[in-house]
Amino acid sequence: MGEAKGKLSATQKFVEEFPVCFFCGGKRASTTREHMPPKSLFDNSHRPDKLVMPACKQCNSGTSTADLTAAVVSRWHYDIGESERLDHRRLVAQMRKQAPALSNEWGANVGKEEARQHLRK
């Protein structure tokens, strides 16, 4: 499905309005929109609108594992209901695929209760 000829996408309009990358201090031109904070930090990715920054491709693609890690950690002691548990499981499964070394390091010789006790301290 293509866009109507001559009509700019939302990203194109945004980049036109904000032509330099926010993250590298304008060293490169913005080409994308970076969600700030990342959608993954919000339950079911329901982030308030308009929280985006202009970003170059290099800066935007370089933070995904860090964003995912922050999303998983932010939910460690957050357990209101089944929806939140499912969201956390989805993020952990994504982290196992995207950053298996990190997942292995977190799981090495540490049980859930030991990890919770460590965080409480």
Please give the Cα distance from 29 to 36 (Å, whole number): 18
**pTM as predicted:** 0.52
Query: What is the rounded distance in angstroms from the CA atom of residue 19 to the CA atom of residue 17?
Result: 6
The domains of the chain are located at 9-62, 64-121
pLDDT (tens digit per residue) in 1-40: 455 567 888 889 999 999 999 988 889 999 998 877 777 7
What is the spatial distance between Cα 83 and Cα 45, in angstroms, rounded to a whole number? Answer: 12
Structure tokens at 44: 């079911």
Q: What is the dihedral of CA 69, 70, 76, 80, to 10 degrees?
A: -120
